[in-house]
Structure 1
Amino acid sequence: MFTEAPALVLLARQLGEHSLAWFTGVLALSVLGAGSVCRAWQQRRTRTLPTGEPEEPRLAAALAMGFLAILGAASLVAYIASKLGDGRLLGLADQALADAIGDHVPWAALVVFSWLTHLGDAELLAPVCLIVALLLWRKAHHGLALGWMMALGGIVLLNPALKRIFARARPLHDHGLALETSFSFPSGHSAGAIVSYGMLMYLALRLLPARWHVPAAMAAAAAIVTIACSRVFLQVHFASDVAAGLLTGLAWLLVCVSSLEYARHRKRRRSRP
């Protein structure tokens, strides 16, 4: 009986029944949160270190936090994977959420999500990757150009490898708005979105005037959340696939940004008299 289902499955069913409202709330919180964090970061940067004070402690702390975040993301992905499979609780909750979305989300909303999900397509991001790399190289930002290519190229290699390891089947749907044939776990669109738009935000913070930083952070958050959620609404991924994709992408993004910041620090040290 449905009333005898575990609490997590019941919660997933309820979330699916009100999924559009939840999506709107999560999107708004993510965009406002990204803008607030970026503003706070800007204000912190205005209080620069006194001349001559070493930057190594700050750099070491940032790298340590990034390393811990990477370990945490990897551990969470492994935990999610361990709870999937026939009859396991997380798998049942995934299916309950997908079924509820299929039963309650209007057709018009699905059509909109079928358009928005293309923001995470490789066919769109590949030319964007090339154009951005060429612009960076032309402006003599050679390190950033290589870092940008490393970030996007790395996730293109990493995600399919993980898909083959876990070999999870995709959820079933009959709306015909989206068709995917590869394995489901983790979500490639979600991983690619957080790496691509996260790196674009990082480049904006590095290269654009300060007045563009907050809008760039808010736009990146909106794109990442919308693309990730679209995969669940279109039922081409389970929610756990998307969560794992975001965690995988976040871990790789932290690796790339940490590497670029370390290289930036080293270059600045060498340029000092």
Structure 2
Amino acid sequence: MPTPEELALLLARHASLALAAIALTLACTGAGLSLILSRHGDALLRALLGGWSWLAPRWRLPPTQVALLLALGFAFALATSAAFLSLADEISEHEELTRFDIALAEALRTHAEPAWQRFFATLTHLGDVEVLVGVGVLVGIVLLAKRRYLDLACWTAATLGNGLLIRLLKHFFQRERPAFEHGLVSVSSWSFPSGHASGSLVVYGMLSYLLLRALPAGARAPLLGAACMLVMAIGFSRIYLHVHFASDVLAGYASGLTWMTMCIIVCEATRARSLRPA
């Protein structure tokens, strides 16, 4: 088994290929899910759950199915929060993950290609606070105009709440960033967890969640696939530009998923209680 340093050097030398492989995997998975859902999605969900508000908003879910959805959501939130705590413990104890972080940052400083750096320096701005706040305000105005008050409350809680959570976590851990000198981006906050990773996941993930009910079944998987690829590319850009350690980005994803999942659970539970039979 390769050491953390050997694995970091391998990834740094083939970073663009690794990103392309991940993107291709996500695209193929999204295409496969799209085909399955377009043909059998409604029937599968009716058989498993009796209909979910995402696909059949006119149906009222039986209490047992609401409880099942809540349990699955809470289990996922617990898993992502456990992943975050595990990452936090690893960096505080300076174990193998920390060695990998440092080795990957050093390897990327040596092997990163200038053309890719310029590309990711542009793409990373899609996760900037100013951009995410702009998206947040625009979506909030649209939801308010359409009187979708429950969605507006969920959107506001998810986006604003995640921003506050990241600030608190950064202040608590106070991890220094990797050293970088390329001058392509500027940063001033602590490193752990990554605000770009967490913020982009929550904002673009919640936007996808809000769009799901308005789209036909065949378009839902491509939407989720595209959102996943965008969020993954933003997180990858932070590592490639070596302004974040890899564990910072993973922790940002974990914390963002936990918070977003809890917000969606509350929103869907509230929506399910208000539904009436057709």
Same fold (TM over 0.5): yes
Structure 1 match to 2:7: 11
**Which sits farther off after the overlay, 238-247 or 121-130?**
121-130
Q: CA RMSD in A?
A: 2.3
Structure 2 match to 1:221: 228
Structure 1 residues 63-101: Cα deviation after superposition (integer angstroms, max 9, x where no partner): 112111111111111111112158532111101111111
In 1, the alpha carbon distance for the partners of 2:136 and 2:156 equals 7
Structure 2 match to 1:30: 26
Tell me whether 1:175 sits opposite 2:182 in the alignment.
yes
TM-score by length of 2: 0.88
Structure 1 match to 2:62: 55
In 2, the alpha carbon distance for the partners of 1:124 and 1:31 equals 25
SS at structure 1 position matched to 2:213: helix
Contact 1:162/1:185 (<8 A) preserved: yes
Structure 2 match to 1:166: 173
Correspondence 1:37-76 to 2 at 5 A: 37=33, 39-41=35-37, 43-47=40-44, 48=46, 55-76=62-83
Structure 2 match to 1:259: 266
**Which sits farther off after the overlay, 117-126 or 215-224?**
215-224
State which of 135, 154, 171 in structure 1 corresponds to 2:142: 135
Contact 1:74/1:251 (<8 A) preserved: yes
SS at structure 1 position matched to 2:183: coil
Task: State the identity %.
Answer: 34
Deviation, 1:132, is 0.9
Contact 1:194/1:224 (<8 A) preserved: yes
Deviation, 1:150, is 1.1
Q: 1:11 is aligned with what amino acid?
A: L
Tell me whether 1:20 sits opposite 2:27 in the alignment.
no
Q: Which runs of 5+ in 1 are unaligned?
A: none
In 1, the alpha carbon distance for the partners of 2:234 and 2:61 equals 41
Structure 1 residues 207-254: Cα deviation after superposition (integer angstroms, max 9, x where no partner): 234453233212211211111100000111000000000011111111
**Which sits farther off after the overlay, 78-87 or 131-140?**
78-87
In 1, the alpha carbon distance for the partners of 2:277 and 2:95 equals 58
Contact 1:197/1:220 (<8 A) preserved: yes
Correspondence 1:54-203 to 2 at 5 A: 55-85=62-92, 88-203=95-210
Contact 1:187/1:242 (<8 A) preserved: yes
Do the aligned partners of residues 210 and 142 (structure 1) sit closer, same or farther apart at CA in structure 2, a change above 3 Å counting? same
